[in-house]
Amino acid sequence: MKFRIPLSIVLAATLAIPTLLIAAPPRPKLPDTFDVAAIDAYLTGYMQQPDRVGLSVAIVKDGEIVLQKGHGKRSLADGRPVEKDTLFAIGSVSKQFTCAALLLLAEDGKLSVNDPVAKYYPQLTRAKDITLLDLMNHVSGYPDYYPLDFLDRRMLAPIIRG
């Protein structure tokens, strides 16, 4: 029995091989120690990888900003660079980081997730009635906050309470 390679596979391999031979920039090495210049070089190299858009970074050590810089592009379409003060639409991504930070602080005994919000923000409405854990679990009763640059069509309809 004679084995034949389908023409589609031969064509796909022929088209893919030149792409594979064009070397992508080498992946940067992650620094082994806290070295601001090495971290900056790592981020610069990382952002040169194909299809990377951009990021803004700030590193604070001992209460001082030791690195504040933009890397990459704001958009692949227009190619403008990210600057240290470029604004990004982050949506709800920060909620997970905030909760993780609170849990680390609780683990270190610096706060309790059962602390009332008033301990940290006494001027906030109903702060005495709500705990940090309530905020983390989204059961505080505070309404959602929607940024002005995004409006879901469902939010245009009036809320009917009955």
The residue to which tokens 């070397």 are assigned: 23
Q: pLDDT exceeding 70 applies to what percent of the chain? A: 72
Whether 95 sits among the annotated catalytic residues: the reply is yes
Whether 8 sits among the annotated catalytic residues: the reply is no
Read off the pTM. Answer: 0.53
pLDDT band at 149 (very low <50, low <70, confident <90, very high): low
Q: Helix, strand or coil for residue 58?
A: strand
Selecting among 92, 94, 119, 128, the annotated active-site residue is 92
Selecting among 84, 95, 119, 128, the annotated active-site residue is 95
Q: What is the dihedral of CA 132, 133, 139, 140, to 10 degrees?
A: -20
Structure tokens at 131: 């705990």
